[in-house]
Structure 1
Amino acid sequence: MEVLRVFNNNLVLARDDSGTEVILTGRGLGFQAKPGSRVVQERVVRVFRPDDGRDPDHLAGLLAGIPPEHVQLVSEALVEVGLERLAARPALVVAMADHVGLALERARAGQVVEYPLLAEVTTLYGEEHAQATTLLAAINARVPVPLPRTEAVGLALHLVNAGVATGDLAHSYTMTGLIQQFLDVVAAAHGVVVVPGSVTVGRFITHLRYLFVRIHQGRQLDDHRHSEVGEAIRRAYPAEARTADQLARLVELRLRATLSDDEVAYLALHITRIAQDAGQAP
Structure 2
Amino acid sequence: MKFIKAFNNNVALVKDDSELEWIIMGTGVGFQKSKGDLIPEEDIRRKFVAEQSTRKPIMQVLNEIDPKVLDVSVEIIKNAESSLKVTFTNSIYLTLADHLSFAIKRSNERIDYAEASRWEVKNLYPKEYEAAKEAIRQVFDKLDVLLPKSEETFLTYHFVNGQQENKTKMEETLKMTELINRVIELVQYHFQIKLDEDSLNYTRFVTHLRYFLIRQMKQDALEQEEVDKTLLELVKTKYEKAYQAVEKIAKLLETKYGWTLSSNERLYLTLHVWRVTKR
Task: State the AA in 2 paired with 1:221.
Answer: A
Q: Identify the residue that residue 102 of structure 2 maps to in structure 1.
A: 102
Pairing of 1:262-273 with structure 2 (within 5 A): 262=262, 265-273=264-272
How far residue 214 of structure 1 moved from its aligned partner, in angstroms, is 3.6
Residue 8 of structure 1 corresponds to which residue in structure 2? 22
Letter in 1 for 2:24: N
Q: Distance in 1 between matches of 2:98 and 2:185?
A: 34
- 2:72 corresponds to: 73
Q: Deviations over 1:161-187 (max 9, x none)?
A: 56964231x544443343233224334
After TM superposition, the runs of 4+ consecutive aligned structure 1 residues lying more than 6 A away are 61-64
Is the Cα contact below 8 Å between 1:117 and 1:176 reproduced in 2? no
% identical equivalent positions: 17
Equivalenced residue count is 242
Please, what TM-score do these two structures have when normalized by structure 1? 0.60
Corresponding residue SS for 1:114: coil
> Which letter maps to 1:220?
D
With normalisation by structure 2, the TM-score equals: 0.61
Distance of 1:261 and 1:207 partners within structure 2: 13
Structure 2 counterpart of 1:35: none
Amino acid at match of 2:184: L
1:82-111 Cα shifts (integer Å, max 9, x gaps): 854467311655543342233244446x26
Aligned to 1:235: 233
Match of 2:154 in 1: 154
Distance in 2 separating the partners of 1:147 and 1:214: 35
1:210 partner letter: Y
Match status 1:139 vs 2:139: yes
The structural deviation recorded for 1:137 is 1.8
1:181-196 map, 5 Å: 181-189=182-190, 194-196=195-197
- Write the letter of the residue equivalent to 1:154: F
**CA gap 1:114/1:77 in 2 versus in 1, 3 angstroms:** same
Between the aligned partners of 1:227 and 1:172, the Cα distance in structure 2 is 29
Larger Cα-atom Rg: 2
Are the counterparts in 1 of residues 107 and 147 from structure 2 also a CA contact under 8 Å? Answer: yes
Question: Aligned Cα RMSD in Å?
Answer: 4.8
Q: Distance in 2 between matches of 1:235 and 1:176?
A: 31
Query: Which structure 2 segments of 5+ residues have no match?
Result: 1-15
Q: How is 1:143-222 mapped onto 2 (pairs within 5 angstroms)?
A: 143=143, 147-159=147-159, 161=161, 165-168=167-170, 171-189=172-190, 194-217=195-218, 219-221=219-221
> CA 1:167/1:190 → structure 2, altered by over 3 Å: closer, same or farther?
same
**Does residue 244 in structure 1 map to residue 228 in structure 2?**
no
